[in-house]
Amino acid sequence: MFETFIQSFRLRNAYKVNTVIYSIKQIPIIKRILPDALYKSKALKIIGTIISIIWELCSIFLGKLIYVAAVIFGMMSLYEANQTGAFITIFTFLTIAGAMMNTYMFNPTKDKYYAMFIMRMDAKKYTLSNYTYSIIKVIIGFMPFTILFGLMSNINLGICILMPFYVASAKIMFSTYSLWKYKKSGITINENKPIKFIWGIVGICLILAYGLPYIGITIPQLGFAIIGILAVIIGLICIWYIKNFDQYREMYKEILTDDNINVQKNAQDIAKENVHKQIDISEGITSNKKGFKYFNDLFVKRHSKILLKSAKRTAAISLFIIAIVIFATQLNGEFRTKVNELLMNSLPYFVFVMYLINRGQVITQAMFMNCDHSMLTYSFYKTPKSILLLFKERIKSIVFVNLLPAIVIGLGLPTILYFTGGTDNIYNYLILFVSIISMSVFFSVHHLVLYYLLQPYNISSETKSTTYSIASFLTYLVCYYMLQVKLPTTYFGIGTILFAVLYSVVSLFIAYKLAPKTFRIRV
């Protein structure tokens, strides 16, 4: 048994170390310096092993420290009820929830798949030895913190020591129940996809954990001692069941399906699948346009989930917020003055808002994955004429879709301004409206032009262009910085409008000149 454990531990370690090296190799500049032979390097393996041991230690202690300190001890001090009782009550019920959500045994992970199915290790030995290890980790990991925080909450030392065993027993009991259920009905449990029944119990536990101390009901120390000892006794009986269970291999065959662990899939494939799902399959979508207009029209209609529908939703939410703000300003004079001041000085704030609600990046990603990814292999699609014709159609749709919420916000801001006492300069109403609209157009143009000039994806939809990543990040950074900027709306508004117009004209011109050369699949 111990041998199996050592083997599986080494296997898991090799896998973790290679993952560490692989991640290091993904960093752009380092990638070129480091050769593939890296995976052979002894020194790096040792460093990787050290990192993975540190990680293992963190997983034993750090999580539990945060859990006990923040989720239990931290929350407890918010209550007025007796602290000792509150600690015990929260701990007791959260443990029940945790036993169901965090079983180790029913967590479908890749290392289990590799060990049991690729390396053909004995499923029972593998599971039992690793399960024992995980339970020991629970006990050792909890012990220092239940003692430390328990004593700080005036809990008897004996109770503090009992607590980790209670946690382990709760986990063992739930695992036994799950094994029993599988044996009886063939139903497997996947802790990452809990069924409704389990969600229900978890919900009740959460309510009891935080609710009971709130109304002054807590579990006394003696009560917990009884619960704890009872749990440990039942837990010991359960161990016997787990040890004698003989269908581990069959059960894991069901738990470790491709779907659960994504063995064959990487992040890109999952992203691709998600984008594919956005295609609207409802019948009756047609178009009476021709050529590229027809093509683009069908694209827009079949992607309304991320285009028009999403824009309408944003517009509706914006309208709702604006209505509430207007309503609130009528009730409260102080709020009214503040909002007025905000509108006159914090227009830069809306650069970030407009950045967040712009769908440009999502749309261009869908354009690539659901359309250009395949179409760019056809030569007729890559002729300069085709590229520019489609670019023209796309810029129209992307601007149009994003204008919908922009118009709502653009009209909403001057309206709020009017209701909060107006402004000395009548032009400010107009400036607010036009600058919001031009921000929206700017972001739409910006995303599409970046996409056409840098086309960052390769055939398997990985982002291959560092320039694109940097450009996107800079865009975010600038917009985020705008949150800090305070400038009079009149000047900032006029500046924004001029900038947006200039940027759009220049970048559209550049895209028109260069896109026929740059719009290719990256190899």
Partner 1 sequence: MKLIVEGVKKKFYKKEVLKGIDFTFEQGKIYGLLGRNGAGKTTFFNCLNEDIKIDEGKFIIEKDGENRRLNISDIGYVVSTPNVPEFLTGREFLKFFLEINEKTIQNPKTIDEYFDFMKIDKEDRDKLLKDYSHGMKNKMQMLINIIAKPNILLLDEPLTSLDVVVAEEMKQMLKEIKKDHIIIFSTHIMELALSLCDEIVILSNGTLEEINRDNLDNSEIKDKIIETLKDETVIQ
**Closest to partner 1 by CB, 106 or 452:** 452
Q: Does 307 bind partner 1 (CB under 8 A)?
A: no
Chain centroid to CA 121: 34
Check residue 308 for interaction with partner 1 (CB under 8 A). Answer: no
Nearer to partner 1, 130 or 386 (CB): 386
Looking at the Cβ atoms of 301 and 312, the one nearer to partner 1 is 301
Window contacting partner 1 (CB under 8 A); options: 249-257, 292-300, 340-348, 494-502: 292-300
User: Which CB atom, from 165 or from 451, has the smaller least distance to partner 1?
Assistant: 451
In whole angstroms, the minimum distance from the beta carbon of 134 to partner 1 comes to 41
Handedness of CA 100, 105, 108, 111 (dihedral sign): positive
Q: How far is the CB of 273 from partner 1 (least distance, A)?
A: 11
77 binds partner 1 (CB under 8 A): no
5 is an interface residue for partner 1 by CB under 8 A: no
Which of 40, 42, 120, 290 forms a contact with partner 1 (CB under 8 A)? 290
Quote the CA–CA distance of 219 and 85 in Å, as a whole number.
Answer: 5
- Tokens 């180790």 identify what position? 104
Rule CB under 8 A: choose which of 279, 324, 430, 474 binds partner 1: 279
Residue type, 243: K
522: helix, strand or coil: strand
Please tell me the count of residues contacting partner 1 according to CB under 8 A.
Answer: 28
In angstroms, the CA 323 to CA 318 distance is: 9
Q: Are 280 and 303 in contact (CB under 8 A)?
A: yes
State the DSSP H helix or E strand holding residue 486, giving kind and residue range, or none if neither. none
Cα–Cα distance, 392 to 397 (Å, whole number): 9
Give CA–CA dist 154/223, Å, rounded.
16
Helix (H) or strand (E) holding 157: helix 157-185
User: Which stretch in 114-122, 130-138, 210-218, 296-304 sits in contact with partner 1 by CB under 8 A?
Assistant: 296-304
Q: Would you count residue 378 as binding partner 1 (CB under 8 A)?
A: yes
Judged by CB under 8 A, does residue 383 bind partner 1? yes
- Does 274 interact with partner 1 (rule: CB under 8 A)? no
499 lies in the binding site for partner 1 (CB under 8 A): no
**C-alpha–C-alpha distance, residues 150 and 147, integer Å:** 5
Minimum CB separation of residue 382 from partner 1 in Å reads: 6
Contact between 17 and partner 1 by CB under 8 A: the answer reads no
Among 253, 382, 392, 396, binds partner 1 (CB under 8 A): 382
Is residue 520 within the footprint of partner 1 (CB under 8 A)? yes
C-beta closer to partner 1: residue 224 or 292? 292
- Min. distance of Cβ 146 from partner 1 in angstroms? 54
The only residue of 276, 305, 309, 338 in contact with partner 1, by rule CB under 8 A: 276
Report the C-alpha gap between 474 and 496 in whole angstroms: 18
Identified binder of partner 1 from the candidate list 386, 438, 444, 504, rule CB under 8 A: 386
Question: Token pair of 468, please?
Answer: 């694109």
The residue from 59, 266, 377, 467 that contacts partner 1 (CB under 8 A) is 377
Look-up of token digits 């409704």: 196
Q: Judged by CB under 8 A, does residue 292 bind partner 1?
A: yes
Closer of 171 and 303 to partner 1 (Cβ): 303
371 is a contact residue toward partner 1 (CB under 8 A): yes
Interface residue with partner 1, options 295, 368, 443, 492 (CB under 8 A): 295
Identified binder of partner 1 from the candidate list 170, 173, 399, 521, rule CB under 8 A: 521
With binding defined as CB under 8 A, does residue 451 bind partner 1?
A: no
Q: Which is nearer to partner 1, 8 or 455 (CB)?
A: 455
Residue 261 and residue 106 in contact, taking contact as beta carbons nearer than 8 Å: no
232 burial level (CB within 10 Å; 0-12, 13-18, 19+): middle
CA 356, CA 293: separation in Å to the nearest integer? Answer: 28
Question: Toward partner 1, which CB reaches closer, 59 or 377?
Answer: 377
Q: Which of 302, 312, 392, 464 binds partner 1 (CB under 8 A)?
A: 302
The type of residue at 328 is A
Of the residues 89, 314, 318, 370, which one makes contact with partner 1 according to CB under 8 A: 370
> Which residues contact residue 320 at a Cβ distance below 8 angstroms, ignoring those fewer than 6 apart?
none
Q: Which stretch binds partner 1 (CB under 8 A): 53-61, 96-104, 275-283, 435-443?
A: 275-283
Does residue 291 bind partner 1 (CB under 8 A)? yes
Contact status: 464 vs partner 1 (CB under 8 A): no
Give the tokens for residue 230: 């009872």
Q: What does the buried/exposed string (b/e) look like for 272-307 if buried means 16 or more CB atoms within 10 Å of the residue's CB?
A: beebeebeeeeeeeeeeeeebbebbbebbebbbebb
Burial of 72 from C-beta contacts in 10 A (0-12 / 13-18 / 19+): buried
Structure tokens at 498: 């001029």
Q: Is 113 in the site for partner 1 (CB under 8 A)?
A: no
Q: Is 265 in the site for partner 1 (CB under 8 A)?
A: no
**Of 26 and 282, CB closest to partner 1:** 282
Applying CB under 8 A, which of residues 303, 336, 359, 446 lies at the interface with partner 1?
A: 303
Amino acid (one-letter) located at 379 = S
Contact 122, 4 (CB under 8 A): yes
Closest C-alpha to 143, from 116, 162, 117, 119: 162
Residues 113 and 11: beta-carbon distance below 8 Å? no
What is the C-alpha separation between 166 and 223, in angstroms, rounded? 13
Sequence-ordered alpha helix ranges (H) in 186-264: 196-214, 221-244, 248-255, 258-261
The residues that touch partner 1, with contacts defined as CB under 8 A, are: 32, 276, 279, 281, 290-292, 294-295, 298-299, 302-303, 370-371, 373-375, 377-380, 382-383, 386, 520-521, 523
